[in-house]
Structure 1
Amino acid sequence: MRKWREIFGASQTDVAKIMGISPSVVSDYEKGRRTPGVKFIKRFVEALIKVDNERGWVVCKELIKSLNLNPEVIIDIRELDKPMNLDTFVTLVKGCLLTSTHSQKIIYGYTVLDSIATIQSLSGNEFWQIMGLTTERALIFTKVTTGRSPMIAVRVAPVKPAAVVLHGPKKVDPLAIILAEKEKIPLILSLASDVNELVNSLRTYARVKIIV
């Protein structure tokens, strides 16, 4: 924890203020006097990201470069204000579910990708790096024509998203739906009028941006 706090150039006071705790509590966790749970770690990471946000995303931009990812590929990536069930998420993206109902799916965040930029600029390994950021999150592809290519990419990736959203196609390729069914991944067609409407709708329920 201390290592990452120092990487982000944040003081214990900076982090504690955002988390709503005292600096001594942060110190206790860093020195091993307390054992952090998953929820605490999540809040700690969000605090670091908020500090970086206030400073112009200096560290996050460098982290993106270290992953060799093209920032133009990622339109938006955020955590939801609170976990959301699939039905609510479908409504949020103005979508319709194309696969069998997966009512137990919970969405914790989302990643919005420019599918054209993704295909043109990312290697398979780079795409898999992005997929690694989407566990228990929705992966949203924009500027899609049929949906076949995104679902083939998801099918061969080692890490799977909680759901896939397609924005753009007038008709989804049946193969995309078949692949989603085989992987047990909810496939959603967003009917938002444009990308801005889709992203703005998502942001109303997002707490903090993860990457620019």
Structure 2
Amino acid sequence: MNDSAREELARRIAGEITLSDDPGATLRKWRTDFDVSQTELAEQLGVSSSVVSDYESGRRESPGIGVVQRTVAALLDIDEARGGDRLRQYARVLSAGFESDIVHDLREYPTPVSLEEFYDAMDATEIHRGDRDRIYGHTVINSIQAITRLSSEEFYRLYGQSTNRALVFTDVTRGESPLVALRVVTPTPNAVVLHGIEEEDLWDHAAELARVDGFSLATSTRDINGCLDTLRDL
């Protein structure tokens, strides 16, 4: 990850923490998102783990901008020391022009991946098998944020470098909105996974829409962070 991308990500994280109504909770969100324990973060900062705990719980006065900036830098340093997976993930999202609360991950694969491999990573249940059985990347999207905030042109950019990919929509209740939204985007993805619902909760017309548009459709209720961790290994 280049310095400018790291600086942009650090600025965004620090700004979100500083402007939050609950800075401690927002700090905890980013720490857990980077899969860093309180102990690891405390060691990187040179403080006791109780200090980190106190900030996150609100027992200690909200951290000032200096503390926030040092904490964000520590999270990024830890990730870089591990190989920089989280940094690269956010860099891809930022370079595509999206906020991280809209797009959780945007990734291209070095070689094609079968739908079976992808479904295994998502612990997904297939509802309909489409015309294509391989994908070349994935995009994991917050369905509510994408539908309410993205234009049709921005929606198309979710495809990244290849339209032959899987789109995963999180925070789904029935699946109607994302599937209808896809109808205005051409071409369609190879596969769509609706995350957060069981098969029996799916919109009645979902499978038929997938059949008409030719993409595979599946559902998944696996923990989204676990999904993202497994997808990074594809």
Q: TM-score range by the shorter chain?
A: 0.5 to 0.7
C-alpha separation in 2, matches of 1:152 and 1:94: 24
Matched, 1:173 2:214: no
**Percentage of identical aligned residues:** 33
Matching of residues 18-167 of structure 1 within 5 Å: 63-65=95-97, 69-99=98-128, 101-102=129-130, 104-131=132-159, 133-167=161-195
Residue identity opposite 2:195 in structure 1: H
RMSD: 2.7
Structure number having the greater helix percentage: 2
Name the stretch that deviates more: 106-115 or 69-78.
Answer: 69-78
Does the C-alpha gap of structure 1 residues 120 and 83 become closer, same or farther in structure 2, counting only changes over 3 Å? same
State how many pairs are aligned.
148
Does the C-alpha gap of structure 1 residues 82 and 131 become closer, same or farther in structure 2, counting only changes over 3 Å? closer
TM-score by length of 2: 0.56
Structure 2 unaligned regions, length at least 5: 6-83
Q: Which residue in the other structure is 1:24 paired with? A: none
TM-score by length of 1: 0.61
Does the C-alpha gap of structure 1 residues 165 and 62 become closer, same or farther in structure 2, counting only changes over 3 Å? closer
C-alpha separation in 2, matches of 1:202 and 1:196: 10
Contact 1:112/1:139 (8 A) holds in 2: yes
Structure 1 unaligned regions, length at least 5: 1-7, 9-52, 206-212
Q: Render the CA deviation track for 1:154-198: whole Å, top value 9, x for unaligned.
A: 122112111001101231102122111111100011131x21111
Query: Secondary structure at 1:98's aligned position in 2?
Result: strand
Contact 2:147/2:181 (8 A) holds in 1: no
Contact 2:165/2:189 (8 A) holds in 1: yes
Greater C-alpha Rg: 2
Shift of 1:102: 4.0
Does the C-alpha gap of structure 1 residues 200 and 74 become closer, same or farther in structure 2, counting only changes over 3 Å? same
Does the C-alpha gap of structure 1 residues 88 and 158 become closer, same or farther in structure 2, counting only changes over 3 Å? same
Shift of 1:80: 2.8
C-alpha separation in 2, matches of 1:62 and 1:155: 26
Shift of 1:122: 1.3
Does the C-alpha gap of structure 1 residues 197 and 132 become closer, same or farther in structure 2, counting only changes over 3 Å? closer
Residue identity opposite 2:219 in structure 1: L
Query: Secondary structure at 2:101's aligned position in 1?
Result: coil
Q: Render the CA deviation track for 1:114-138: whole Å, top value 9, x for unaligned.
A: 1121123212222123246551110
Higher relative contact order (CA 8 A, sep 6+): 1
Contact 2:166/2:192 (8 A) holds in 1: yes
Shift of 1:71: 3.7
